[in-house]
Every structure is written in C-alpha cells, then in structure tokens.
Amino acid sequence: MIRKTVDNVQEALKGVENGMTFMLGGFGLCGIPEKAIAELVRLNIENITCISNNAGVDDFGLGLLLQKKQIKKMISSYVGENDEFERQMLSGELEVELTPQGTLAEKCRAAQSGFPAFFTPAGYGTEVALGKETREFNGKMYVLEEAFKADFAFVKAWKGDEAGNLIFKGTARNFNPCMCGAAAITVAEVEELMPAGALDPNQIHIPGIFVQRIFEGRNYEKRIEQRTVRKTV
C-alpha cells in the first residue's frame, strides 16, 4: 500500500505559491474543500487562478478568497450568487473566463485522462467559441476545447482511506472526482479517514492513484445555499 496520508491541512498545502493555478471541487457550496480554502486564506496566497464551477457566496467558499482579493482569475460556469464577485468582474479587477459547465467538467477529466483536447458542441456559434478551432462531424458543428493545466487540485470527499481511495456522498460528488489527478498535486480532504482495507474496493469512486495527499477535516460547516422544504408528506 502506498500511503497518502498527511497530518493536517498545513502539511497538505505545502508547496502552494503565489500565482499558481488551483482546481477546487464543489457545486455552489455543496462538496467544497472547506479546509483547503480556509488554509489558502490563512496563508494569504495571492494572484491565484481558480478553476471552480462557482465562486462561493460573499462570506463562504471561494467568496472568502475574493474578499481578500487573493484571486486574479476565475474559470467558472456560473457566478450568480456572489455580489463581490460580480462587482470585481464588472470593474475589471478580476479576470473571468466563463466556461460552459459540461466543458469545464470535461476539461478537468481530459487533464486527468491524458487528452490534450476534445471537441464539444457546447458554445458553438457563441462568444465562447471565439478564436477556437471548429469542425464538422456528421453534419454538426463542434468546438475544440483544451484540457486544463493546474498546479493543485483541492477536492472534498466523504470517506477516504490511507491509500487515497475516495468515496463521495450525494451531489457533493459533482466536480470533485473529475479534478482528481487533473493537477500536478491532488489534495483530498475527507470527513472520515479510514485505515487501508476498511473501504470495500467495489465501492471506491476514485482510486488512490489520482490522489497525492489525503487528510481528515473536522467540523465541516456544509452551509446550505437554498434551504427548501415541503410541509406535508
């Protein structure tokens, strides 16, 4: 067994520097690497490029890094829930590359899987395709999109083991598995870190080969963005 465990978030983030490109899992505030984000805030790492589907809310998730102006560029598909983000973007302080959500996921998966690029129909004929190669396959037009390159991927899983194997829960899975192994170093934070052998190999979502460092985070806030309930059964 090849051990991937590190003691804490400080050790897990060793090597992060100003100006790096980070991938961060999560959809909205669901399944975000809370501990890694808090540590990036504490370290005050600046000029970051973040690849993340969303940008958090004003006072949580990536919003915490935005507040301190640590982010130079965001690559996201939807940023609607964050006023500070919109302000920085419209004023030109923050560089933003809006990318269709499926393309964003696939640019991660391509990096993970060794594809330099792929063709997708998403964005053809729109400003997203400007300057990009397009090609027709079977009568339909496609846009060439390139795999991401990143220094670190920060992902959040439900359970993990010492070998770096990961299991996700519910829709907190989202972009996290796609980002594992898609950056030079993948850091996984989990709610429950188990000894090797404790997780059933049949149930592993991401094999440990895609993960370089794993640690257990405590007291996850798991903030809910839109608490919706029904009254009757």
Question: Which positions touch another protein (CB under 8 A)?
Answer: 27-31, 53, 76-81, 86, 89-90, 96, 98, 100-106, 108-109, 120-128, 158, 168-178, 205, 222-231, 233
Closer residue to another protein, CB minimum distance, 16 or 55: 55
Least distance between another protein and beta carbon 207 (Å): 14
Least distance between another protein and beta carbon 109 (Å): 4
Residue whose structure tokens are 């970051």: 48
Least distance between another protein and beta carbon 221 (Å): 9
DSSP state of 36: H
Least distance between another protein and beta carbon 186 (Å): 14
Closer residue to another protein, CB minimum distance, 152 or 175: 175
What does the block give as tokens for 84? 């500070």
Integer CA distances (angstroms), 103 to 114, 119, 133, 136, in order: 16, 9, 15, 18
Dihedral Cα 162, 149, 84, 173, nearest 10 deg: -40
Closer residue to another protein, CB minimum distance, 154 or 175: 175
DSSP state of 147: P
Chain centroid to CA 52: 5
- At a CB cut-off of 8 Å and minimum separation 6, what does 98 contact? 76, 77, 79, 128
What does the block give as tokens for 70? 């640590």
Least distance between another protein and beta carbon 90 (Å): 7
Closer residue to another protein, CB minimum distance, 2 or 229: 229
Least distance between another protein and beta carbon 24 (Å): 13
Closer residue to another protein, CB minimum distance, 4 or 109: 109
Per DSSP (E only), the strands in 9-146 are 21-24, 48-51, 71-76, 95-98, 117-120, 134-137, 140-146
- Cβ atoms of residues 48 and 154 within 8 Å: no
